Amino acid sequence: MRRNLFFCCLAIVCLAGFALADNTNDLNISLTMDCQSGRYCFADPGFEGSPATASADFSGIGEPWTFNTTTGEAIQWVENNGNYSATFGYGGSFQMTGPGNLTFTGVVTSGSAEFVPDSWTIQVNYTGEWSNGVFASGEAEVRIADGGVDTQATLQSQAAPEPSSLILFGSGIVGVILRKRFW
């Protein structure tokens, strides 16, 4: 009886895992787009350690994705002869929209900004949660070169199960195994 109950529970958990995986496949993306500065892409590297901001709207290539990010204050920055670079740590915000009107709210985990005359780049790594409860992390970048003539945005996102659910699931399986061995 116990063995049947164990296998029944295991089957339910596996099926739920497959359902979660099927729902998250639409949230795993890797997009790159050449875009017009100011229309589909925006980037501001900040100044003297201030936060950097960037955004992109991928509807210009027929994709339902957008992102908007603002870093925290720079943890390190250098300005020399009109060139500027900054490094950012954990903080700031990362918002994204995806298919089916899903929204994403997250935090910047690290990033960088660079500015040389007529060209600048903002790159961030992020983590957070979709409005349907799916956790995700990824990277986003906006590069504006030649004074806005050559502009590109990239967005990568990987959906992942909630970390605490994995711990709970793992401890439940260990509990069932230990109970079976010692009872």
User: Residue 70 has which token pair?
Assistant: 């603002």
> What's the domain count of the chain?
1
pLDDT exceeds 80 at position 112: yes
pLDDT at 20: 45
Residue 75 lies in a domain: yes
pLDDT exceeds 70 at position 76: yes
pLDDT at 163: 57
Residue 167 lies in a domain: no
Average pLDDT of 169-176? Answer: 57
Where are any strands of DSSP class E within the chain? 29-34, 41-44, 53-57, 66-71, 74-80, 83-88, 92-97, 103-116, 119-130, 135-145, 150-160
Rounded Cα–Cα distance for residues 115 and 6 (Å): 59
pLDDT exceeds 70 at position 183: no
β-pairing, 103-116 with 41-44?
Answer: unpaired
Residue 127 or 182, more confident:
127
Residue 102 or 35, more confident:
102
Are 122 and 113 within 8 A, CB to CB?
A: yes
Average pLDDT of 54-79? Answer: 95
Kindly state the percentage of the chain with pLDDT values over 70. Answer: 72
What integer best gives the mean pLDDT of the chain? 83
Residue 11 lies in a domain: no
pLDDT exceeds 80 at position 113: yes
pLDDT at 22: 44
Residue 180 lies in a domain: no
Residue 141 lies in a domain: yes
Highest mean pLDDT among 83-87, 145-149, 173-177: 83-87
Average pLDDT of 25-30? Answer: 86
Highest mean pLDDT among 2-11, 46-55, 147-156: 46-55
Angle at CA of residue 77, ends 118 and 48, nearest 5°:
70
Are 35 and 119 within 8 A, CB to CB?
A: no
CA distances from 174 to 168, 177, 179 (A): 10, 5, 8
Residue 8 lies in a domain: no
Rounded Cα–Cα distance for residues 132 and 1 (Å): 36
Q: Which domain holds residue 109?
A: 29-161
pLDDT exceeds 80 at position 89: yes
Residue 181 lies in a domain: no
Q: What is the pTM of this model?
A: 0.76
Residue 68 lies in a domain: yes
